[in-house]
Structure 1
């Protein structure tokens, strides 16, 4: 039995803690905030409830496996998993709308064909077939196993057919152009790059697996909000004997030549450990917490990456019901390239005409009554920064956040969803707020982006160069999002079991 300290009570940290606890390790989770969940947060006011982080659950099998192996079924812990159908309401710049089914790529292709006409149905079927092939080739080496560098993929490289399938030097945008003649379908694919905080013009073709997974395995809501998943996981860890220290800031991961020895808190207290699992942002870990020369190489690699985009969020308490509003809504900009240039270009700035995502669950537990709606509004945004670093905006600058809120509300009105005269109140969350709340540098949602062919190999490995120090969560392998974070916890628990 090892003494394990987990730094951070996000979903990755709690999932790793649960898996390690059932293996009879002594686990303590240390969290700088006053509560658990990390980016999987919630906000409540006047009976309105908002998920302030992930708002969609895909590949629920990841969490079914986690809960089954730590004491009981997922549904017994969270209550009802709601299979969304339709899952998304899309509005394209020409005004055409599509209600996307929640599952089955073939059905989705038919719906797209009916709405868009031409060869849209056949094109989407062909694109999904290619995505399915990429998924089969990459699922094990890229998602379910540790990845420390390009050499781990040598078996894949020996099969030229697999290499052609994955197309490692083709962008997601390039793959979409090969299969999809309708620019609206290509716009739909572009959106999936933002699931990893990336630019579709630079993100790899392998991200075609993201829409495939969504349509193949379904899109789910947890009754009462996705935050209920964090509540259930926290309770499961308590049942397994995991201890928590909240409002306890880790100042340093302590090491010797032999490996980690524990952590030092901000007040000077030392927690001794045989194993440290960092659910902190990888850049924060290697730059600020690990004062060990063995962390220099991972930090050097991180500095060669492009950080992921951030998000500007509005929480809107809306009076009345909105015809045609779906659980998930995406209203596209007329110029997606301008949006990505505003975020990733040399002259970063708030996007003037952004794509707008709205999550408005038809869930009575998330609103005061059936005559109101809770709108979580998200637009892609540059990271926060105060030193003029490329790709950043000072979101704390006077006169920026509130006028930009008004701009987003105007864009929503221009696209047919004017709620300004129905607002009871609103809350604004900027990338600076995200950075302050989660210690994610600049408010980067996913740590590093997937921009560039080598991005997967620059993402920090789960096993650090320091014996006994492991990384879990969205900023380490295999990446961000609830399913991948859950997979990273399983990888880390297995690695510790082998050590």
Structure 2
């Protein structure tokens, strides 16, 4: 196993439970991959996902590998799931209950907004029913897409209605604010809502249907629990163990991995929980046994990356500008601050420029275990172009002197302008740039989801879990079925099924 992200750990647990001898090699000093963790001076932060959906996926994972999820991790349902604020000062809380959300939209946006949302969600529910089993239960291919269309000749129209996520949002929603709310779900796959397929409307429905959840103590605990389950099933996890090459023997079949220290681990099967571009362009490139195979990503657009700030905040101050989870800004567990010009943000990110007025996402968990008494640990994220310092680049050079500090100040200014001024409470901050993401996770450019879902079929035809190289499998967010904690865990189930029992 190459990589100890959530996908790799879940696959390790499943394969070890199926009787395989499993060794996981992780290049970083900690497990979790993009489900990262940072602690300093009594403050602790999730540095990757901060919201869990489809908890049933993880309940099934733990049950299948020998014990209940509840015995290892506590899940806490969030209500509201998030609070959304717009440039005109309006906003709403995404209440967990459907009736509560419709009433909230009518009360805070305009009369009839709740009914419009209900019609959109009914459409998204139909998309979910069409795609759920066929898309998530097994490996995807062009042939499987055609069979999906044949099996659901009426429902397939729902999948493609509006062609793009923006198109389907405009079809059902009559207000720019509700459309921005829906279009944000494109960023869950690192994509542009103007180019992402209409089928991504299903993400909004999934979040509503299965709820938004938090793990007390941080979502990183979920990764730790999966790792512990893998170890209980006798999988070995080696940290600080970079893999340089996936080696192949006669006929081109994988026969092991070569480590950075020159050592070699033989293997009948290799599961790579690394970015697919890294696997094809790097780990296979130096192996014997023939050509490494064609990179299946083709000309897919890299997904957007992110620029994050970890904010260590002291107790709220009195008077104007005070903010906090109970302050006048009404900060909840998750808060999204939209810009005035959403298109300008996507134009910048996907053209390799810094957005000057990006959407700001704030995760401010009311969790006393994450900060000293009276203090808070906030995770702030904005969409950003990937790290790409070369000529003709698709991103920018995030290592350019002064850029990170300047942009951090800009993000704090934007938060203040939008009602969340925490600068007088700021004890220190830790930035995480796309270049940092690339170094920490090995993802090219720090692109969070590998390739984007920009294009009519891109969401359905990510790199396959079973590669053209015999014995090599891909797991994780850059492969089918995509990024995000539940989909990554589902990719592990698909791979374990493909490999089969020992």
TM-score (norm 1): 0.95
Q: Deviations over 1:71-108 (max 9, x none)?
A: 21111101x2111111211111110121211x333432
**1:194-233 paired onto structure 2 within 5 Å:** 194-233=187-226
Post-superposition offset of 1:44: 0.9
Q: Deviations over 1:365-391 (max 9, x none)?
A: 11111x111110000000001113443
Tell me, yes or no, if the aligned pair for 1:286 and 1:296 is still in contact at 8 Å: yes
Change (3 A) 1:141 1:168: farther
SS at 2:297 equivalent: helix
Tell me, yes or no, if the aligned pair for 2:197 and 2:457 is still in contact at 8 Å: no
Post-superposition offset of 1:458: 4.1
Q: Unaligned 5+ residue runs, structure 2?
A: 317-323
1:71 maps to 66
Aligned length: 486
CA distance, structure 2, for counterparts of residue 125 and residue 225 of structure 1: 32
Tell me, yes or no, if the aligned pair for 2:126 and 2:158 is still in contact at 8 Å: yes
Post-superposition offset of 1:15: 0.2
Which is further off, 445-454 or 153-162? Answer: 153-162
The answer on 1:388 being equivalent to 2:383 is: no
1:481 maps to 484
CA distance, structure 2, for counterparts of residue 450 and residue 94 of structure 1: 30
1:359 maps to 363
Q: Unaligned 5+ residue runs, structure 1?
A: 1-5
1:3 maps to none
2:284 maps to 290
Post-superposition offset of 1:169: 7.0
Post-superposition offset of 1:233: 1.0
**1:257-336 paired onto structure 2 within 5 Å:** 257=251, 259-291=253-285, 295-297=292-294, 299=295, 301-321=296-316, 322=324, 323=327, 324-336=330-342
CA distance, structure 1, for counterparts of residue 157 and residue 290 of structure 2: 39
SS at 1:391 equivalent: coil
SS at 1:303 equivalent: coil
Tell me, yes or no, if the aligned pair for 2:255 and 2:267 is still in contact at 8 Å: yes
1:14 maps to 9
CA distance, structure 1, for counterparts of residue 290 and residue 146 of structure 2: 29
Taking only aligned residues, the RMSD between alpha carbons, in angstroms, comes to 1.4
SS at 1:261 equivalent: strand
**1:59-458 paired onto structure 2 within 5 Å:** 59-78=54-73, 80-101=74-95, 103-147=96-140, 149-158=141-150, 159-167=152-160, 170-256=163-249, 257=251, 259-291=253-285, 295-297=292-294, 299=295, 301-321=296-316, 322=324, 323=327, 324-345=330-351, 348-369=352-373, 371-458=374-461
Tell me, yes or no, if the aligned pair for 2:398 and 2:433 is still in contact at 8 Å: yes
CA distance, structure 1, for counterparts of residue 291 and residue 135 of structure 2: 25
1:48 maps to 43
CA distance, structure 1, for counterparts of residue 177 and residue 426 of structure 2: 31
